[in-house]
Amino acid sequence: MSYAPILTIANEKGGVGKTATAVNVAAALARAGLRVVAVDGDSQADLTWGVGAEPDQGPGFAEAIEHAAQGDTFDPATLLPTVVDGLRVLAGGQGLAEVAPELYTAGADGEEWVSTALRAVAELEDVDVVVIDTPPSPGPVTIGAIMAADLTLAIANARQANSVAALQTLIERAKAISARGGHGGVRVVLQGHDEHRVLHRDMRDRLQAEPEGLFAVIPHSKDVEESPLDGVPLVASRGRGSSRTAWALCDLAQDAYNVARQIHTQQVTAA
Ligand SMILES: Nc1ncnc2c1ncn2[C@@H]1O[C@H](COP(=O)(O)OP(=O)(O)O)[C@@H](O)[C@H]1O
Ligand SMILES: [Mg+2]
Protein backbone atom coordinates (compact mmCIF):
# COMPACT_ATOMS: atom_id res chain seq x y z
CA MET A 1 0.00 0.00 0.00
CA SER A 2 1.45 3.36 -0.91
CA TYR A 3 1.62 6.07 1.68
CA ALA A 4 2.70 9.69 2.08
CA PRO A 5 6.13 10.54 3.53
CA ILE A 6 6.14 10.77 7.34
CA LEU A 7 8.17 13.36 9.24
CA THR A 8 8.60 12.99 13.01
CA ILE A 9 9.82 15.78 15.29
CA ALA A 10 11.45 14.44 18.44
CA ASN A 11 13.57 14.95 21.53
CA GLU A 12 12.62 13.46 24.86
CA LYS A 13 13.38 16.77 26.57
CA GLY A 14 10.67 19.39 26.92
CA GLY A 15 10.96 23.02 25.96
CA VAL A 16 13.49 22.56 23.14
CA GLY A 17 11.20 23.70 20.31
CA LYS A 18 9.64 20.46 19.04
CA THR A 19 6.12 21.84 18.83
CA ALA A 20 7.19 25.17 17.35
CA THR A 21 9.06 23.23 14.66
CA ALA A 22 6.19 20.81 13.96
CA VAL A 23 3.55 23.55 13.75
CA ASN A 24 5.57 25.65 11.34
CA VAL A 25 6.94 22.84 9.19
CA ALA A 26 3.39 21.51 8.73
CA ALA A 27 2.00 24.97 7.97
CA ALA A 28 4.84 25.80 5.57
CA LEU A 29 4.28 22.59 3.59
CA ALA A 30 0.54 23.31 3.39
CA ARG A 31 1.28 26.82 2.14
CA ALA A 32 3.54 25.28 -0.48
CA GLY A 33 0.47 23.45 -1.81
CA LEU A 34 0.75 20.04 -0.16
CA ARG A 35 -2.13 18.33 1.62
CA VAL A 36 -0.73 18.01 5.12
CA VAL A 37 -1.83 16.24 8.30
CA ALA A 38 -0.20 17.36 11.55
CA VAL A 39 -0.45 14.76 14.32
CA ASP A 40 -0.31 15.93 17.92
CA GLY A 41 1.33 13.28 20.10
CA ASP A 42 1.24 15.31 23.30
CA SER A 43 -1.50 15.28 25.95
CA GLN A 44 -0.80 18.99 26.47
CA ALA A 45 -2.06 19.53 22.91
CA ASP A 46 0.17 22.55 22.20
CA LEU A 47 0.30 21.69 18.51
CA THR A 48 -3.49 21.37 18.29
CA TRP A 49 -3.94 24.84 19.81
CA GLY A 50 -1.05 26.18 17.73
CA VAL A 51 -2.87 25.50 14.45
CA GLY A 52 -6.11 27.01 15.72
CA ALA A 53 -7.98 23.79 16.59
CA GLU A 54 -9.38 22.61 19.92
CA PRO A 55 -8.40 19.35 21.63
CA ASP A 56 -10.75 16.99 23.49
CA GLN A 57 -13.85 17.93 21.47
CA GLY A 58 -14.06 14.51 19.86
CA PRO A 59 -11.86 11.58 18.87
CA GLY A 60 -8.21 12.37 18.14
CA PHE A 61 -4.85 10.62 18.00
CA ALA A 62 -5.59 8.59 21.16
CA GLU A 63 -8.68 7.04 19.57
CA ALA A 64 -6.75 6.43 16.33
CA ILE A 65 -4.20 4.45 18.37
CA GLU A 66 -6.97 2.47 20.06
CA HIS A 67 -8.54 1.68 16.70
CA ALA A 68 -5.18 0.49 15.40
CA ALA A 69 -4.80 -1.72 18.49
CA GLN A 70 -8.16 -3.33 17.71
CA GLY A 71 -7.34 -3.75 14.03
CA ASP A 72 -10.00 -1.22 12.99
CA THR A 73 -9.50 1.17 10.09
CA PHE A 74 -8.75 4.84 10.61
CA ASP A 75 -11.71 7.22 10.40
CA PRO A 76 -10.71 10.27 8.29
CA ALA A 77 -13.56 12.27 9.89
CA THR A 78 -11.31 12.41 12.95
CA LEU A 79 -9.08 14.94 11.17
CA LEU A 80 -9.92 18.53 12.13
CA PRO A 81 -9.60 21.63 9.94
CA THR A 82 -7.09 24.31 10.98
CA VAL A 83 -6.53 28.00 10.30
CA VAL A 84 -4.18 27.03 7.44
CA ASP A 85 -5.67 25.90 4.09
CA GLY A 86 -4.52 22.41 3.21
CA LEU A 87 -3.54 21.58 6.80
CA ARG A 88 -5.61 19.24 8.97
CA VAL A 89 -4.79 18.07 12.48
CA LEU A 90 -5.19 14.80 14.34
CA ALA A 91 -5.70 16.27 17.77
CA GLY A 92 -3.71 15.54 20.92
CA GLY A 93 -5.15 16.02 24.40
CA GLN A 94 -6.17 14.22 27.56
CA GLY A 95 -7.03 11.01 25.73
CA LEU A 96 -3.31 10.44 25.20
CA ALA A 97 -2.69 10.62 28.94
CA GLU A 98 -5.50 8.10 29.42
CA VAL A 99 -4.16 5.53 26.93
CA ALA A 100 -0.54 5.97 28.11
CA PRO A 101 -0.64 3.28 30.86
CA GLU A 102 -2.11 0.74 28.44
CA LEU A 103 0.56 1.55 25.85
CA TYR A 104 3.36 1.20 28.38
CA THR A 105 1.98 -2.12 29.60
CA ALA A 106 1.73 -3.42 26.04
CA GLY A 107 5.46 -2.75 25.47
CA ALA A 108 6.53 -3.30 21.87
CA ASP A 109 2.88 -3.86 20.85
CA GLY A 110 2.02 -0.38 22.12
CA GLU A 111 4.75 1.17 19.99
CA GLU A 112 3.49 -0.83 17.02
CA TRP A 113 -0.10 0.44 17.50
CA VAL A 114 1.17 4.02 17.43
CA SER A 115 3.17 3.33 14.31
CA THR A 116 0.23 1.57 12.63
CA ALA A 117 -2.12 4.46 13.41
CA LEU A 118 0.32 6.92 11.83
CA ARG A 119 0.74 4.82 8.71
CA ALA A 120 -3.04 4.63 8.38
CA VAL A 121 -3.13 8.44 8.19
CA ALA A 122 -0.31 8.43 5.64
CA GLU A 123 -2.22 5.91 3.52
CA LEU A 124 -5.22 8.21 3.01
CA GLU A 125 -5.55 9.16 -0.64
CA ASP A 126 -5.87 12.90 0.00
CA VAL A 127 -2.74 13.23 2.15
CA ASP A 128 0.67 14.23 0.73
CA VAL A 129 2.72 14.40 3.92
CA VAL A 130 2.31 13.69 7.65
CA VAL A 131 4.12 15.72 10.34
CA ILE A 132 4.17 14.36 13.91
CA ASP A 133 4.88 16.24 17.11
CA THR A 134 5.97 14.00 20.01
CA PRO A 135 5.72 14.35 23.80
CA PRO A 136 8.71 15.15 26.05
CA SER A 137 9.40 11.53 26.97
CA PRO A 138 11.01 8.50 25.28
CA GLY A 139 7.72 6.56 25.67
CA PRO A 140 5.63 4.51 23.21
CA VAL A 141 4.25 7.52 21.29
CA THR A 142 7.72 8.91 20.63
CA ILE A 143 9.17 5.52 19.73
CA GLY A 144 6.19 4.54 17.56
CA ALA A 145 6.44 7.87 15.74
CA ILE A 146 10.15 7.39 15.04
CA MET A 147 9.47 3.82 13.86
CA ALA A 148 6.89 5.08 11.39
CA ALA A 149 9.00 8.01 10.17
CA ASP A 150 10.80 8.32 6.88
CA LEU A 151 12.72 11.16 8.49
CA THR A 152 13.10 12.18 12.12
CA LEU A 153 14.15 15.70 12.97
CA ALA A 154 15.99 15.61 16.31
CA ILE A 155 15.59 19.03 17.87
CA ALA A 156 18.54 20.50 19.74
CA ASN A 157 18.54 23.72 21.71
CA ALA A 158 21.37 25.54 23.49
CA ARG A 159 18.99 25.86 26.44
CA GLN A 160 18.99 22.14 27.08
CA ALA A 161 22.27 20.54 26.09
CA ASN A 162 25.36 22.41 27.17
CA SER A 163 27.64 19.41 26.99
CA VAL A 164 28.79 17.29 24.11
CA ALA A 165 27.74 14.17 26.02
CA ALA A 166 24.10 15.26 26.31
CA LEU A 167 24.06 16.02 22.65
CA GLN A 168 25.46 12.67 21.63
CA THR A 169 22.93 10.82 23.74
CA LEU A 170 20.17 12.62 21.89
CA ILE A 171 21.48 11.78 18.44
CA GLU A 172 22.37 8.18 19.28
CA ARG A 173 19.00 7.49 20.85
CA ALA A 174 17.17 8.81 17.81
CA LYS A 175 19.36 6.71 15.54
CA ALA A 176 18.97 3.58 17.65
CA ILE A 177 15.19 3.83 17.65
CA SER A 178 15.13 4.49 13.95
CA ALA A 179 17.41 1.55 13.21
CA ARG A 180 15.40 -0.78 15.44
CA GLY A 181 11.93 -0.54 14.04
CA GLY A 182 11.95 2.04 11.30
CA HIS A 183 13.81 2.51 8.10
CA GLY A 184 14.13 6.27 8.33
CA GLY A 185 16.89 8.83 8.61
CA VAL A 186 17.72 11.28 11.38
CA ARG A 187 18.74 14.92 10.96
CA VAL A 188 19.63 17.43 13.65
CA VAL A 189 17.94 20.84 13.84
CA LEU A 190 19.15 23.59 16.17
CA GLN A 191 16.16 25.60 17.40
CA GLY A 192 16.08 29.07 18.95
CA HIS A 193 19.67 29.92 18.00
CA ASP A 194 21.01 33.26 19.24
CA GLU A 195 24.15 34.27 17.37
CA HIS A 196 25.00 36.84 20.06
CA ARG A 197 25.40 34.29 22.82
CA VAL A 198 28.61 32.36 23.39
CA LEU A 199 26.79 29.25 24.65
CA HIS A 200 24.68 29.15 21.50
CA ARG A 201 27.62 29.59 19.13
CA ASP A 202 29.53 26.96 21.05
CA MET A 203 26.66 24.51 20.73
CA ARG A 204 26.27 25.18 17.03
CA ASP A 205 29.98 24.57 16.41
CA ARG A 206 29.90 21.33 18.37
CA LEU A 207 26.88 20.08 16.47
CA GLN A 208 28.44 21.01 13.18
CA ALA A 209 31.53 18.99 14.09
CA GLU A 210 29.45 15.84 14.68
CA PRO A 211 29.37 13.27 11.86
CA GLU A 212 25.67 14.03 11.31
CA GLY A 213 26.34 17.75 11.01
CA LEU A 214 23.54 20.28 11.29
CA PHE A 215 20.56 20.06 8.97
CA ALA A 216 19.15 23.49 9.88
CA VAL A 217 19.63 26.38 12.28
CA ILE A 218 16.46 28.26 13.26
CA PRO A 219 17.18 31.73 14.68
CA HIS A 220 15.64 32.73 17.99
CA SER A 221 12.71 35.09 17.58
CA LYS A 222 10.11 36.34 20.01
CA ASP A 223 7.56 35.96 17.21
CA VAL A 224 7.78 32.20 17.67
CA GLU A 225 6.93 32.55 21.34
CA GLU A 226 4.01 34.81 20.62
CA SER A 227 2.42 33.00 17.67
CA PRO A 228 0.80 30.16 19.69
CA LEU A 229 -1.10 32.80 21.66
CA ASP A 230 -3.25 33.66 18.65
CA GLY A 231 -3.40 30.09 17.26
CA VAL A 232 -1.75 31.00 13.95
CA PRO A 233 1.57 29.42 12.98
CA LEU A 234 4.34 31.97 12.44
CA VAL A 235 4.86 31.01 8.79
CA ALA A 236 1.14 31.55 8.10
CA SER A 237 0.92 34.84 9.99
CA ARG A 238 0.22 37.89 7.88
CA GLY A 239 2.14 40.36 10.00
CA ARG A 240 5.09 38.27 11.15
CA GLY A 241 5.43 35.67 8.44
CA SER A 242 8.34 37.32 6.63
CA SER A 243 10.91 37.29 9.44
CA ARG A 244 14.28 35.58 9.15
CA THR A 245 13.02 32.86 11.49
CA ALA A 246 9.94 32.27 9.35
CA TRP A 247 12.09 31.94 6.24
CA ALA A 248 14.40 29.49 8.00
CA LEU A 249 11.38 27.39 9.02
CA CYS A 250 10.05 27.38 5.44
CA ASP A 251 13.45 26.30 4.11
CA LEU A 252 13.62 23.57 6.74
CA ALA A 253 10.16 22.36 5.76
CA GLN A 254 11.10 22.09 2.10
CA ASP A 255 14.46 20.41 2.78
CA ALA A 256 12.96 17.96 5.27
CA TYR A 257 10.15 17.06 2.87
CA ASN A 258 12.63 16.46 0.06
CA VAL A 259 14.82 14.19 2.19
CA ALA A 260 11.81 12.33 3.59
CA ARG A 261 10.46 11.78 0.08
CA GLN A 262 13.84 10.56 -1.14
CA ILE A 263 14.17 8.04 1.71
CA HIS A 264 10.55 7.07 1.16
CA THR A 265 11.05 6.41 -2.56
CA GLN A 266 14.14 4.27 -1.89
CA GLN A 267 12.10 2.33 0.63
CA VAL A 268 9.22 1.73 -1.77
CA THR A 269 11.61 0.74 -4.57
CA ALA A 270 13.47 -1.70 -2.29
CA ALA A 271 10.23 -3.33 -1.11
N1 LIG B 1 13.05 29.80 17.24
C2 LIG B 1 12.50 30.13 18.43
N3 LIG B 1 12.64 31.39 18.90
C4 LIG B 1 12.11 31.74 20.09
N5 LIG B 1 11.40 30.93 20.87
C6 LIG B 1 11.23 29.66 20.45
C7 LIG B 1 11.76 29.18 19.22
N8 LIG B 1 11.39 27.88 19.08
C9 LIG B 1 10.66 27.58 20.18
N10 LIG B 1 10.57 28.64 21.01
C11 LIG B 1 9.85 28.75 22.28
O12 LIG B 1 10.41 27.88 23.23
C13 LIG B 1 9.40 27.34 24.07
C14 LIG B 1 9.41 25.84 23.96
O15 LIG B 1 9.09 25.47 22.63
P16 LIG B 1 8.14 24.26 22.30
O17 LIG B 1 8.04 24.18 20.83
O18 LIG B 1 6.89 24.32 23.08
O19 LIG B 1 9.07 23.07 22.87
P20 LIG B 1 8.73 21.53 23.09
O21 LIG B 1 7.60 21.17 22.20
O22 LIG B 1 10.01 20.84 22.71
O23 LIG B 1 8.41 21.38 24.54
C24 LIG B 1 8.08 27.93 23.61
O25 LIG B 1 7.76 29.04 24.39
C26 LIG B 1 8.39 28.34 22.18
O27 LIG B 1 7.57 29.39 21.75
MG1 LIG C 1 5.78 20.35 22.73
Could you tell me if 245 and 223 are in contact, meaning their C-beta atoms sit under 8 angstroms apart?
yes
Distance CA 146, CA 41 (A): 12
Q: What spacing in Å lies between the alpha carbon of 16 and ligand 2's midpoint?
A: 8
Ligand 1 atom 27 nearest Cα = 225
For residue 36, what are the domain limits?
A: 6-270
Q: What is the CATH number of the domain that holds 146?
A: 3.40.50.300
**16 in ligand 1 pocket by Cβ < 6 Å?**
yes
Nearest-atom number in ligand 1 for the CA of 133 is 21
Atom of ligand 1 lying closest to residue 21 CA = 17
pLDDT of residue 165: 64
Decide which of 64 and 169 is more confident. Answer: 64
* Cα dihedral 74, 80, 82, 84 sign: positive
Q: Give the pLDDT of residue 2.
A: 74
Number of domains in the chain: 1
pLDDT of residue 1 exceeding 60, the answer is: no
pLDDT at 21 over 80: yes
Tens of pLDDT, residue by residue over 223-264, are 888 877 678 999 998 776 668 999 999 999 999 999 999 988
User: What's the longest Cα–Cα distance across the chain?
Assistant: 52
Ligand nearest to the CA of 13: 1
Asked, for residue 1, whether it belongs to a domain, the answer is: no
CA distances from 45 to 17, 66, 117, 222 (A): 14, 18, 18, 21
Tell me whether residue 61 is in a domain: yes
**Which helix (H) or strand (E) segment is 257 a member of?**
helix 244-270
For residue 211, which of 162, 252, 172, 181 has the smallest C-alpha distance? 172
Distances (CA, A) of 226 to 216, 230, 243: 22, 8, 13
In short, whether 191's Cβ falls inside 6 Å of ligand 1 is yes
pLDDT single digits (tens) 99-129: 999 999 999 999 999 999 999 999 999 999 9
**Once rounded to an integer, what is the mean pLDDT over residues 39-52?**
97
More confidently predicted of 191 and 270: 191
For residue 39, the Cα-to-chain-centroid distance in whole angstroms is: 8
Residues lining ligand 2 (ion), CB within 5 A?
18-19, 46
d(CA 186, CA 96): 25
Residue 78, SS3 per DSSP: helix
With cut-offs at 50, 70 and 90, classify the pLDDT of residue 159. confident
pLDDT score at 13? 81
Q: How far apart are CA 89 and CA 53, in angstroms?
A: 8
Q: Ligand 1, from 190, 191, 240, 245: best to mutate by most atoms within 8 Å of Cβ?
A: 191
Quick check: 163 pLDDT over 60? no
> Given a cut of 60, is residue 271 above it in pLDDT?
yes
29 — phi, psi (to 5°)?
A: -70, -35
Judge whether 126 lies within some domain. Answer: yes
92 sits in the region (left: phi over 0; alpha: psi -120 to 50; else beta) called beta
CA 37 – CA 93 distance, rounded (Å): 16
Residue 127 falls within a domain, yes or no?
A: yes
CB atoms within 10 A of CB 2: 8
Confidence band (pLDDT; 50, 70, 90) for 212?
confident
Pick the closest to residue 47 from 100, 91, 97, 94 (CA basis).
91
204: left (phi over 0), alpha (psi -120 to 50) or beta: alpha
Q: 77 in a domain, yes or no?
A: yes
Higher-confidence residue of 137 and 129: namely: 129
The answer to whether position 148 is within a domain reads yes
Residue 255 lies in a domain: yes
d(CA 205, CA 153): 18
In this predicted structure, what is the pLDDT of residue 166? 62
* Percent share of the chain, pLDDT over 90: 69
pTM (two decimals): 0.95
Q: What are phi and psi of 9, to 5 degrees?
A: -110, 120
Report which of 147, 150, 134, 144 is spatially closest to residue 42, judged by C-alpha positions.
134
